[in-house]
Amino acid sequence: MQDSNYRRVAIISAIQGETSVANSLIEARRELSLANRIVANEGVIDAFGHVSMRHPDNPRRYLLSRSRAPELVTPEDFIEYDLDSQPVREPTVTQYSERVIHGEIYKARRQSPPPLTLWASPVGRSRC
């Protein structure tokens, strides 16, 4: 159990950019899609959880996938939101209703590197 917790912390730290920070939107979308699949595979979140990331070039925006299981997320699934959790472009796909929580976290935490936010519905808590 303890080894599993260390692994999760290491994965989250790596995704947060402590080893590298996404320097372009294309790279950020790729890394964030991988982050969704990794945390799902490692059991950090389940089929209802999701991961978001502050936009790499605009700190007043963040990226969150459309509403779908994290193990299925691809780079094309991300919707760009402003800090009021309004989509920059009106999406044609279903959005997470919990996106407002992500927006409020990004409003409150304006530091760099961009924070990573996880949301696991059954657990009912977020991690930053």
Examine the pLDDT at 117 and tell me if it is beyond 70. no
Question: For 5-51, how does the pLDDT look when each residue is reduced to its tens digit (9 = 90+)?
Answer: 444 544 555 555 544 444 689 999 999 999 999 888 888 877 777 88
- Rounded to a whole number of angstroms, the CA Rg of the chain reads 13
Per the annotation, the verdict on 42 as an active-site residue is no
Among candidate residues 71, 76, 80, 98, the one labeled active-site is 98
| pTM above threshold 0.75 | no
Asked if residues 70 and 50 have their Cβ atoms less than 8 Å apart, the reply is: yes
Provide the CATH number for the domain around residue 103: 3.40.225.10
The number of distinct structural domains making up the chain is 1
Q: Domain of residue 38: give its range.
A: 2-127
